[in-house]
Amino acid sequence: MNINRRAQQRSVEIVSNKKIGAYHHMVFAVGDMALHALPGNFVAISVGGPGSSMVLRRAFAIYRTHDRGNYGGTLELVVAPHGQGSRWLTALPMHATVDMVGPLGTNFGIPTEPVNALLVGGGYGSAPLFGLAELLKENGCRVDMVLGASSAGKIYAPLEGKRAVNSMTVTTDDGSAGTKGQVISVLPGLIERYNIEIIYSCGPMPMLAAVQEVAQKFGIIHQCAVEEAMACGIGVCMTCVIPLRDANGEIRMSRSCIDGPVMDGANVIWNSKGEIPKGTVGEPHV
Ligand SMILES: Cc1cc2nc3c(=O)[nH]c(=O)nc-3n(C[C@H](O)[C@H](O)[C@H](O)COP(=O)(O)OP(=O)(O)OC[C@H]3O[C@@H](n4cnc5c(N)ncnc54)[C@H](O)[C@@H]3O)c2cc1C
Ligand code: FES
């Protein structure tokens, strides 16, 4: 697998930056980069400005794109300001520019026939699911969504996003919105009620692993966007490798920035705990 062939590097202008709950909804004027982005792709942004010691780009899943309007093409992100780089980015004013590479990585596959799809998002992991929901609806699918977070302020569910789905279920760990508990607790009921045929997910790795267990139990296809720490975002540094079973059944350490982030959940070796599983191709012998 190679870097996304549609990727470009651009200096892009921030045309909107609004705080919404725990997140910042940021819009960038990206020109024709918007034409090439698909749900599941991400961008890598340089943070800290010229001369900064923050040399690594930060990865962000693309929330939505528009290829028309006052600014030409625009690309939207939902950013949680928690570390140094993301805090720098969300503090930028309108009209500031940042260096962006995108679109990067793989995208969610769209079924050729209309199916019943369940979209599962954890925290800002809901961001790429709204564009996906719109695309699935255009293709005649029924789309149900589950969003989970620790508390109400960390659920990102804009009004227009809610309109794009047939039903929206919310769970919070502290019960401040929706059902108290984690997304996993509501999945079996929703799968049975809506006769779900495919699950798409995005969020923290432990949540994705738990979704895969449920998908496997029900014999449902599960496409997930993994969120492994990334340093370069373009396949060079090997920071983001995770064990993945290939078409021949062999386990290979694969780069989630170019072989992913969207992967077939059944192919990911979820219980590797950061280690290289026994039998992995190229496993070091000590
Ligand atoms: C595919 C993908 C999609 C994402 N989408 C979103 C999104 O939509 N919204 C959002 O808010 N966040 C998203 N993130 C997380 C976002 O990239 C992090 O917030 C960001 O990397 C952390 O940066 P920071 O500046 O906040 O923290 P800092 O602490 O300043 O930076 C941490 C930096 O160190 C790197 N790093 C961390 N662990 C390791 C390691 N073990 N080895 C090497 N480098 C490491 C990180 O990649 C990052 O560059 C996504 C991450 C990925 C991988
Ligand atoms: S982040 Fe560098 S290879 Fe994936």
79-83, 116-120, 160-164: which is most confident: 116-120
51 and 81 fall within a common domain = yes
Give the pLDDT confidence score for residue 2 in this predicted structure: 77
Q: Is the CB of 255 under 6 A from ligand 2?
A: yes
pLDDT tens figures, 220-257: 999 999 988 999 999 999 999 999 999 888 999 999 99
Give the pLDDT confidence score for residue 185 in this predicted structure: 95
Does the pLDDT at position 160 exceed 90? Answer: no
205 and 134 fall within a common domain = yes
74 and 120 fall within a common domain = no
CATH code of the domain containing 62: 2.40.30.10
Q: Is the CB of 231 under 6 A from ligand 2?
A: yes
CB burial string 114-124: b at 16+ within 10 A, e below: ebbbbbbbbbb
Residue nearest to atom 3 of ligand 2 (CA): 235
159 and 217 fall within a common domain = yes
Number of domains in the chain: 2
Q: Is the CB of 240 under 6 A from ligand 2?
A: yes
Q: Would you say residue 144 lies in a domain?
A: yes
Pairing of strands 251-255, 198-202: unpaired
CA distances from 141 to 12, 134, 136 (A): 34, 10, 5
* Interior angle at CA 163, CA 127 and CA 158, nearest 5: 40
Q: Which of 176, 208, 227 is the last residue of a domain?
A: 227
221 and 140 fall within a common domain = yes
Give the pLDDT confidence score for residue 156 in this predicted structure: 86
Mutation test residue for ligand 2: of 4, 236, 254, 259, the one with most atoms within 8 Å of CB: 236
Q: Would you say residue 249 lies in a domain?
A: no
First and final C-alpha spacing in the chain: 29
CATH code of the domain containing 153: 3.40.50.80
Q: H/E element holding 36?
A: helix 33-36
143 and 40 fall within a common domain = no
Distance 47 CA to ligand 1 centre (A): 11
pLDDT tens figures, 112-158: 999 999 999 998 888 999 999 999 999 999 999 999 999 998 888 77
63 and 136 fall within a common domain = no
- Domain housing 125: 116-227
Q: Which of 61, 78, 104 is the last residue of a domain?
A: 104
Q: Would you say residue 285 lies in a domain?
A: no
Q: Which of 227, 244, 261 is the last residue of a domain?
A: 227
Distance 165 CA to ligand 2 centre (A): 33
